[in-house]
């Protein structure tokens, strides 16, 4: 009788590097074309289409584009919360009032100007859009490694809040397996230009 071998975990750092290299090869036109499709696909998800409050983020660089979706949600009367990075990498939140209400912040991020609503504001969202680099068939998300959204997901759990947790990715970023750590929280769905996929 032989002992079963553990399935080796992919290396987080190597996976991040590979995915970021693909994103870096995208042109501005590539990003914009996929952004429009992502915005359309996102509204196929009833949890987003029917939401009153959505916690989202402003995409930068080669990230899957969120700006068209932010404007569409706002035009529909949805209250859109955007993150504000705090010095300890936790997130505060502010209201999205349109592109003219965004200001440059550290790390190349764009944040909402105006009133800060506090880190707990996310617990009132009907849906939370999460940035990421990959997601696997279990719904486990690979982020950039800063831990900001791990804190958000833990805060939602502590508050007993259960908004739809959705990650926006490119089609090639839905992978067989991402490395798993005890603090990881699965997402409910992934939206790619090809469509929406739900998890357990």
For residue 116, give the CATH number of its domain: 3.40.50.10420
- CA nearest to 160, candidates 123, 200, 111, 188: 123
Per-residue pLDDT, averaged over 165-192, amounts to 91
Total structural domains within the chain: 1
What is the rounded average pLDDT for all residues in the chain?
Answer: 90
Given this model, what pLDDT does residue 7 score? Answer: 41
Q: Is residue 8 part of a domain?
A: no
pLDDT value at 1 more than 60: no
The predicted-structure confidence for 93-149, as pLDDT tens digits, reads as follows 999 999 999 999 988 899 999 999 999 999 999 999 999 999 999 999 998 878 899
Per-residue pLDDT, averaged over 52-59, amounts to 97
DSSP 13: H
pLDDT value at 8 more than 60: no
Q: Which residue range forms the structural domain that includes residue 80? A: 24-198
Residue 111 in tokens = 């944040």
Q: Is residue 70 part of a domain?
A: yes
Binding-site residues for ATP, in ranges, read 12-16, 141-149
> What 3-state DSSP class applies to 55?
strand
Per-residue burial over 127-149, b = 16 or more CB atoms within 10 Å of its CB, e = otherwise: bbbbbbbbbbeebbbbbeeeebb
User: pLDDT band at 182, cuts 50/70/90?
Assistant: confident
Per-residue pLDDT, averaged over 153-165, amounts to 92
User: pLDDT band at 10, cuts 50/70/90?
Assistant: low
Given this model, what pLDDT does residue 199 score? Answer: 92
CA 74 – CA 46 distance, rounded (Å): 16
Per-residue pLDDT, averaged over 167-186, amounts to 89
Q: Is residue 1 part of a domain?
A: no
Given this model, what pLDDT does residue 146 score? Answer: 80
Q: Is residue 79 part of a domain?
A: yes
Q: Is residue 117 part of a domain?
A: yes
Q: Is residue 186 part of a domain?
A: yes
Q: What percent of the chain has pLDDT over 90?
A: 78
78's CB contacts (< 8 A; 6+ apart) are 51, 52, 53, 54
DSSP 11: P
Q: Is residue 51 part of a domain?
A: yes
Q: Is residue 15 part of a domain?
A: no
Dihedral angle, C-alpha 154, 89, 134, 82, nearest 10 °: 80
Helix ranges (DSSP H) in the chain: 12-24, 28-42, 46-49, 67-75, 148-159
Binding-site residues, in ranges, read 12-16, 58, 63, 141-149
Binding-site residues for substrate, in ranges, read 58, 63
Contact 140/186 with Cβ under 8 angstroms? yes
pLDDT value at 73 more than 80: yes
Between 30 and 3, the more confident residue is 30
């Amino acid at each position: 009788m032989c002992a079963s071998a553990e399935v080796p975990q992919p290396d987080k750092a190597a996976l991040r590097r590979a995915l970021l290299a693909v994103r870096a090869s995208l042109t501005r036109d590539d990003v914009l074309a996929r952004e429009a499709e992502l915005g359309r696909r996102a509204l196929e998800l009833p949890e987003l289409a029917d939401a009153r409050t959505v916690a989202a983020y402003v995409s930068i660089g080669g990230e899957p584009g969120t700006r068209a979706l932010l404007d569409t949600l706002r035009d529909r009367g949805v209250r859109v919360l955007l993150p504000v990075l705090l010095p300890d990498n936790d997130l505060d939140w502010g209201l999205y009032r349109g592109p003219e209400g965004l200001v440059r912040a550290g790390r190349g991020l764009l944040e909402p100007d105006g009133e800060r609503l506090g880190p707990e504001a996310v617990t009132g969202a009907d849906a939370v859009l999460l940035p990421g680099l990959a997601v696997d068939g279990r719904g486990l998300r690979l982020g950039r490694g800063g831990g900001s959204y791990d804190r958000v997901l833990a805060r939602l759990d502590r508050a007993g809040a259960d908004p739809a947790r959705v990650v926006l990715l490119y089609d090639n970023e839905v992978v067989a397996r991402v490395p798993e750590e005890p603090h990881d929280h699965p997402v409910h769905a992934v939206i790619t230009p090809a469509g929406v996929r739900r998890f357990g």
